[in-house]
Each structure stands twice: as C-alpha cells, then as structure tokens.
Amino acid sequence: MSTSPHRFGHIALLGPPNAGKSTLLNALLGQKLAIVSPKPQTTRNQLAGILTLGDAQIVLIDTPGVHVPRGSRLNSRIVEAAWQALAQAQAIVLVLDCPFYLQKPDLLEKDIKLLSRPVERSGLPVIVALNKLDALADVKNMLPVMARLGEAWPGAEIVPVSALKEKGLDQLLSVMTAHLPEGDSLYPEDELTTAPMRFLASEIIREKLFLALSQELPYNTAVAIEHWQDTPKGARVNAVIYVSRDRHKGMVIGKGGKVLKDVGSKARQDLIELMGGPVHLELFVKVREGWTEDEFFLNELGEEQ
C-alpha cells in the first residue's frame, strides 16, 4: 500500500487590490484572520496563516495588493511587502476578480502585465484562483477570461472559486498541496498564524476604522497597541489610533464620541472571538503629522514587515 508523502511549504497569495486575497485566506483557514473591507489597500502588511491538512501543512502568505507604488513612503512599503512574500514561497496563487474583468477587459490586460514581472522574476509555479464566481450572471461568462489567463501563464492551473461563498476551495487546496515539496510540518496543528496577537489586534481595529470612516481618511490612520496585559479577568488592551491631521481627530472620534465608541465595540467583539475570552479595550486618538512619510515611525509600527 502506498501513501502519499506529507508536504510542507509556503504559498503567496498575490493579486490586485480588492480581488479577495484576504477573504480567501480566511475562508481557507476557516477563521477570520486577515481583515477585509471593500476599500483597496486594507492589507498593509503581509500576514501568514497556517493551514494544517491531513497530508500537508501550508503557510499561506496574504499580501497587500500589487499596484504601482505612488505617493507616500507607506505606499511603496506596501508594495515591497508583497515582493518579500515571494522570496519565501514555493508557489504563487494569483487571486483575480473575474466579474471585474468582464466589466473592464482592458484592466485584465493591465493586471496581467503588472503581475507578469514579479511572477517571472520569482520563477515560481503559478496557480490562478479566479475569484467571485458567485457574482457572475452565468458561470460560462468566465471562459474567455480563463482562456486569456491560460495564454498569459501557460501551464498554470486555473481554479474558479468563490472565497465569499466558499466554493471551489477543496479543488484549490489539492492543487496547492501538489505544488509543495515533501516535508514535515513546522508548526503545531492548532497554530493559526505566525503573527503576534498584538499585531492581529491592531489589524482588527484598523479594519473597523476602514469600515467606519469614509473616503481617504482610513489611509491616513495607523493603530499601535500601547499596552497589553493578560489578567485573570481577561486581556486589558490600550490602543492608539494615529491620524495625520488635527481635523481628522474629530472625524475619528465622531459626534459625542459615537464613531470611536462604535469602532471600539466592534473591535472588542472580534477580539473576544480571536482570544476566546473577555477583553477590555480602550482606544485613544492622537495626531502625528506626516506619519505616512516618517521612516522611523513606520519602522516602529512594523509597516515594513
């Protein structure tokens, strides 16, 4: 009787902003780890989720969306983080938004061009997760997009999925596993991530800010955990929300403190779920002018990881 060997490796999730990379990571893990919002560039850092299967352990690296860096230092760091993820990986899953390309075929060409360079340079095998199938009027509509992607990356396996509705994920997992080298698991099977709890907590708060605030404001906020204490009654967490302008402070706090209160209670809910116990969360808002350009501050926040 022959059994298939156990496999271990890293796989990078790469793709344009809003294609559904973080949603896919969460769906594969079966737990919310990466933050998700309808706004591009919600994910600033790379985040690794550990997926333990019967015959493999896969470290999935979620990355910020690939786009042309423009403007601030924070922005170019977001793109750098995506490149760094490739250096550790044995395969790439390109996550692409199928219904979007049916609406905007010229952007399919643009994204193929943008993604080809890092993919080629990495020399890694490519798997395409053609996402958001649930949003197609007819699944047959994806065929021309699949054909074009097959041309762009010959030999790549293209797996239609819906990260949101959790469709096609088993197929994707078996294709991913097949691309990994033989090896033992590196992490205990109940370990979900390589990221520290503090980082996950600050990400949760950032997600709630993204959801609560309109337009450009979320891009100018950062979250730092200032104090964390585990007590018998649960975790006591103090977090600071940094804004880059004085007038933004009022917007984050809201009338009568409503916005901040709302962000705090939603974040607390998610933190309780993540930590499996009571959480006491206090949020503060501080102005730090020009923080998106401040190398020292960005290092402190760990935005370059």
Binding residues vs ligand GDP (CB under 6 A): 15, 17-23, 36-38, 42-43, 65, 131-132, 134-135, 162-164
- Alpha-carbon distance of 148 to 158, in angstroms, equals 11
Q: Which is nearer to Mg ion, 22 or 193 (CB)?
A: 22
Q: Which of 12, 19, 22, 47 binds Mg ion (CB under 5 A)?
A: 22
Residues ≥6 apart with Cβ < 8 Å to 220: 243, 244, 245, 248, 292
Q: Which is nearer to ligand GDP, 20 or 118 (CB)?
A: 20
Helices (H), the chain: 21-29, 73-88, 98-103, 105-122, 143-152, 169-178, 197-212, 246-253, 258-275, 295-301
Amino acid residing at 122? S
Judged by beta carbon distances under 5 to 8 A according to partner kind, the member of Mg ion, ligand GDP, K ion, none in contact with residue 220 is none
C-alpha pair distances (Å), 21 with each of 14, 130, 225, 285: 7, 11, 25, 30
Q: Which is nearer to K ion, 95 or 301 (CB)?
A: 95
Q: Which is nearer to ligand GDP, 15 or 49 (CB)?
A: 15
Judged by beta carbon distances under 5 to 8 A according to partner kind, the member of K ion, Mg ion, ligand GDP, none in contact with residue 256 is none
- Alpha-carbon distance of 19 to 108, in angstroms, equals 12
Judged by beta carbon distances under 5 to 8 A according to partner kind, the member of ligand GDP, Mg ion, K ion, none in contact with residue 32 is none
Q: Is 42 in the site for K ion (CB under 5 A)?
A: yes
Q: Is 193 in the site for K ion (CB under 5 A)?
A: no
Q: Which is nearer to K ion, 42 or 244 (CB)?
A: 42
Distance linking the first and last C-alpha atoms of the chain: 45
Q: Is 63 in the site for K ion (CB under 5 A)?
A: no
> Which pair of structure tokens corresponds to residue 188?
């205990």
Write down the residue that tokens 């390109």 correspond to: 94
Of 30-59, which residues contact Mg ion (CB under 5 A)? 43
Classify 1 as helix, strand or coil.
coil
Write down the residue that tokens 């902003």 correspond to: 17
Least CB distance to Mg ion at residue 112 (A): 20
Residues in the interface with Mg ion (CB under 5 A) total: 3
Q: Which is nearer to Mg ion, 165 or 227 (CB)?
A: 165
Classify 129 as helix, strand or coil.
strand
Least CB distance to ligand GDP at residue 20 (A): 3
Least CB distance to K ion at residue 218 (A): 11
Strand-by-strand arrangement of the 279-287 sheet: 221-231, 234-243, 279-287
Judged by beta carbon distances under 5 to 8 A according to partner kind, the member of Mg ion, K ion, ligand GDP, none in contact with residue 134 is ligand GDP
- Give contact residues for Mg ion (rule: CB under 5 A): 21-22, 43
Q: Which residues bind K ion (CB under 5 A)?
A: 18, 42
